Amino acid sequence: MYWTSLSDFLAMGGHAGFVWPSFGLALAVLLGLGLQSRARMKAAERENAEARRDLRGEGGSREAQA
């Protein structure tokens, strides 16, 4: 390992203010995109399942009307 102490690692030779925000932002963007993509997929799966039920006429409200 290049670093000898944790404080050295965190200080990044005085450039901590540039290095850590860079890594922070990159991970935040990747994580954010990942979460949004996953959320959208889950929503699409739900909507798809409901639409299938709708087509088969199994929707609860529809049965009540029929």
Partner 1 sequence: MHALANPARFLRLMAAIRPYAAVLAVLGLAIGLGWGLLFSPPDYQQGETVRIMYLHVPAAWMAMFIYAAMAVASAAALVWRHPVAELAAKASAPIGAAFTLICLVTGSLWGKPMWGTWWVWDARLTSMLILFFLYLGYIALWEAFDDPARAGRAAAILALVGAVNLPIIKFSVDWWNTLHQPASVLTMAGPKIHADILWPLLITALGAQAYYVWMLCLRVRAEILERQARILRFSAAADRRAA
Q: Rule CB under 8 A: which residues touch partner 1?
A: 1-3, 9, 12-15, 18-19, 21-23, 25-26, 29-30, 33-34, 37-38, 40-41, 43-45, 47-48, 50-52, 54-55, 57
| Structure tokens, 20 | 């850590």
Rounded to an integer, what distance in angstroms lies between the CA atom of residue 2 and that of residue 37?
36
The distance of closest approach from Cβ of residue 64 to partner 1 in the complex, given in angstroms and rounded to an integer, is: 14
Q: What is the closest distance, in whole angstroms, from the C-beta atom of residue 60 to partner 1 in the complex?
A: 14
